[in-house]
Amino acid sequence: MNELKARRRHGSGPLISLVRTLALCAGTLCSIAGCATAPENTDTDTREDQCRADLSQWAVGQVINDAIVNRIQVESRASQVRRLRPGQPMTRDFRRDRVNVEIDNAGRIQAVACG
């Protein structure tokens, strides 16, 4: 019994050990978080290589052809155009310099979006 009282007086009980461990973990996490870099600015008007699909929404409903695709690319400021047909496999990577033109089975543009 005296040994238990001595441990409690000197701060070596299981609760104290748990508190010390949690404090150490919290301090480590705070140190790591302080080293993280801030996310880059994603404002659409500040990057020249940023796609602007909003400028090409006029094309929705049009029958696709090379002239329309070229105009979409120029107006959206995209360096790449990806034509997407129903059921066509595609990568899921996001590229801010690419515009996607979704086309239905009849060849009409259903959507213009960046990515």
Report pLDDT digits (tens) over 43-72: 444 456 689 999 999 999 999 999 999 999
pLDDT score, position 93: 92
Helix residue spans in the chain (DSSP H): 2-10, 14-35, 66-76
Domain ranges of the chain: 2-35, 53-114
pLDDT band for 11, please (50, 70, 90 cuts): low
* Residue 110 pLDDT > 80: yes
Phi, psi (deg, nearest 5) at residue 80: -135, 150
59 close to 101: Cβ distance less than 8 angstroms: yes
pLDDT score, position 37: 47
**56 or 21, which is more confident:** 56
Token pair for 41: 């600015």
pLDDT band for 9, please (50, 70, 90 cuts): low
CA distance 78 to 48: 9
pLDDT band for 4, please (50, 70, 90 cuts): low
Pairing between β-strand 109-114 and β-strand 98-103 as defined by DSSP bridges: antiparallel
Report pLDDT digits (tens) over 61-106: 999 999 999 999 999 999 999 999 999 998 999 999 999 999 999 9
The topology (CATH level 3) of 53-114 is Trypsin Inhibitor V; Chain A (3.30.10)
